[in-house]
Chains A and B, each alone.
Chain A
Amino acid sequence: MKNLDSVLAAYLAGWAIFFVYYISVARRMNSLREEIEELKNSLRRDK
């Protein structure tokens, strides 16, 4: 089928953008979660 490779390239690139973005949000959230735990522990120690 003519241009099927372009269609597949577009779908791969498009969904890759959504996946990379979703993973970046999840990673940032995990690192913030760890930071919150560390800050809470240090505040508990200081009190």
Chain B
Amino acid sequence: MLKTILGAVILFVLIAFTAYLAFHYAPIEKTMGVIQKIFYLHLPSAFSSFVALGICFYANLRYVFTREAKWDWLGVSAAEVGLAFISVVLVTGPIWAHPVWGIWWTWDARLTLTFVLWLLYISYLLLRSMLEEPDKRALLSALFGIFAFLDVPLVYFSIRWWRTQHPQPVILGGPGSGLDPRMRVSYLLVWAAFTGLLILLLNGRYKLEAMRASVEELRREAEVL
């Protein structure tokens, strides 16, 4: 219980910190105005989802080659946490788009591929919930997770490869792109805070999966006796 409260306190501190950076420290963008402040939540969420899904991909690969349960636990934990981050991306994006584009959603490459990514990881979790045998569940979901990760580079490069409605990259976007120094510092610090949030959620979710494995083992023991 104490750990849960401590985690919630850390979450509150992160919110306060990111809100201070976004609303007080970073300047208001000249063209878009205050609506651009959504990017301080949208962008780090997208970045953190890529990191979480990258961890999931690595864990899935390790499981296929080693068949150690800990990689299966890490894989499902990272998939679920990544899904939470993608959900934030998919909710905050349209709220930004409506006043700027005049529409909530358009089926351009970046938006469509992000939605497909969300559906793929929902399917990953659904697949796991349908399989009862632990080894079969771990192997099939690891293979599916490896396949699902193929969408991540497509999402990332979609705005570079195809003409999209989505804004072009301002960070690592090549000549002509860039940020005001205070905006850059704010983005970097908010990213650091979101990395902390990612670690907090992933750690909690991994412990949950390890506990679930203990319960399954104890149930089997109880059945034998």
Contacts and interface: CB of A to CB of B under 8 A. Distances in A.
Given A15-B15, A18-B84, A39-B222, A10 B211 contact: no
Interface in B81-116: 81, 84, 87-88, 91-92, 95-96, 98-99
Given A22-B7, A43-B221, A43-B225, A13 B33 contact: no
B34 A4 contact: yes
Given A9-B95, A25-B208, A39 B38 contact: no
Interface stretch (B125-133, B162-170, B199-207): B199-207
B30 to A, nearest CB: 13
B218 A6 contact: no
Interface in A1-47: 1-4, 6-7, 9-11, 13-15, 17-19, 21-22, 25-26, 28-29, 32-33, 35-36, 39-40, 42-43, 46-47
B218 A29 contact: no
10 contacts: A6-B95, A7-B35, A7-B38, A17-B91, A18-B88, A22-B204, A25-B208, A29-B211, A40-B218, A46-B222
Interface of B: 4, 7-8, 11, 15, 19, 33-35, 37-38, 41-42, 45, 81, 84, 87-88, 91-92, 95-96, 98-99, 197, 201, 204-205, 207-208, 211-212, 214-215, 218-219, 221-222, 225
Given A10-B95, A22-B11, A26-B4, 19 more contacts: A1-B33, A2-B33, A3-B35, A6-B38, A7-B34, A7-B35, A10-B38, A11-B41, A14-B45, A18-B84, A18-B197, A18-B201, A21-B84, A28-B208, A29-B211, A32-B208, A39-B219, A39-B221, A43-B225
